[in-house]
Amino acid sequence: MIATAIKLALVACTLAANAFYLLSIIAGLRFFLRREPNEGGNLTAATIMIPLHGADFKAYQNYAGFCRQDYGDYQIVFGVRDPRDSSIPIVQKLIEDFPERDIALVVSDKTIGQNLKVSNLHNMLARVKHERIVIVDSDIRVGRDYLRRVLAPLADERVGLVTCLYRAAEAPDFGAQLEAVGITAEFAPGVLMAWMLEGVKFALGSTMATTRTRLESIGGFQALADYLADDFMLGNLIERSGYEVRLSKVVVETAMQPVGVAGMLRHQLRWARSTRISRPLGYLGLILTYGTALALLTVAVDRASYFSLLLLAATLVIRLVMGWLIGVHWLEDRILKKYFWLLPVRDVLSFLIWCSSWVGKRVEWRGRQFEVARDGKMVEKIAPIVD
């Protein structure tokens, strides 16, 4: 009786995952075929804010793309907390190589909360000249039309923030390859489903375009200072204040550095635990997106019956079609195309990370240990001094 109940539950969850895959294809179709607002008209002056913490992988190439924007009047503000930060010489070279570009570097260790990236952004704000601001993670690469396109929706007064999907620019080791495959074949479909079903109520660190007025309306960077998922919270607070969060059709790239499998697992587990603690019900629902792992469990429980093998085959076909259409076809992810064979491996790994994330509350971030509270805020855990 118990075995039958387990088998039926696994079959039901696998079928639900297949429904998720099919709905994700519909969401992708609706999203990528929609028209974007006119990009040409209002080129209002803007500031790009890029917080730094050490030199990123191929950092100069990443940062230089922001200096080559096909846009009128714009400023770039970089920020670091440590005057010995290894990214400072790179920014100084940018200033030399692009004398026509308005580039500022802020060095300040003033802290307003547990999230040092948010403190960095708060310190940078004093040098920002323009009302429109675009906050970007330091490992992001963009095309020449990036600024023009992501700022265009802000002309609509109903739009409070614009954010972007992203793909990997390169994956230099196996850990980075596993993570890169998950970005467009696993993470992006979830974002597109949220967009289709309820609208986007969060932001992605790859791009957060807003205005100083809208930032101040939610309490400024101080409102984000203790949250681990500061990008999520910025979009969420702006959406809750009555504005729309717009998902742009612009797709940026992240320059992934060699992380190793262990580093990739730490990063994924940090994200998983913080999401589970702050949004437990939604995180529990992710079980219905792990079709590959659920189908494999069904095969094991049902002793490789004809039905279970047929279900596994159908699940893999639907899963691979969804991953190819969204990741390779629409998001044009060259890394996913090259390592597409890793997708089932990534699916099983993601399921194992989901399972393990239900144990423990601690996460590691930038060499520091934190516990994440139910509201998403983090508290640093300092090891006791032993004599």
**pLDDT means per 10 residues in the chain (387 residues)?**
88 97 97 76 88 90 95 96 95 96 96 94 97 96 95 93 96 93 96 95 95 95 92 94 96 91 88 79 89 96 94 98 98 96 96 90 71 73 49
What's the pTM value of the predicted model, to 2 decimals? 0.91
| Cβ 115 vs Cβ 227: under 8 Å | yes
Of the candidates 191, 196, 167, the residue with the CA atom closest to the CA atom of residue 335: 167
pLDDT confidence of residue 56: 84
Q: Which two tokens stand for residue 348?
A: 């099983």
pLDDT confidence of residue 366: 67
CA distance 68 to 100: 10
Q: Name 165's Cβ contacts closer than 8 Å, sequence gap at least 6.
A: 184, 188, 191, 204, 206, 247, 251, 252, 331
138, 198: one domain: yes
pLDDT confidence of residue 228: 84
CA distance 239 to 254: 25
pLDDT confidence of residue 385: 41
12, 108: one domain: no
27, 82: one domain: no
Range of the domain at 345: 2-31+282-377
With respect to residue 180, please indicate whether it lies within any of the assigned structural domains.
Answer: yes
- CATH number, domain of 259, equals 3.90.550.10
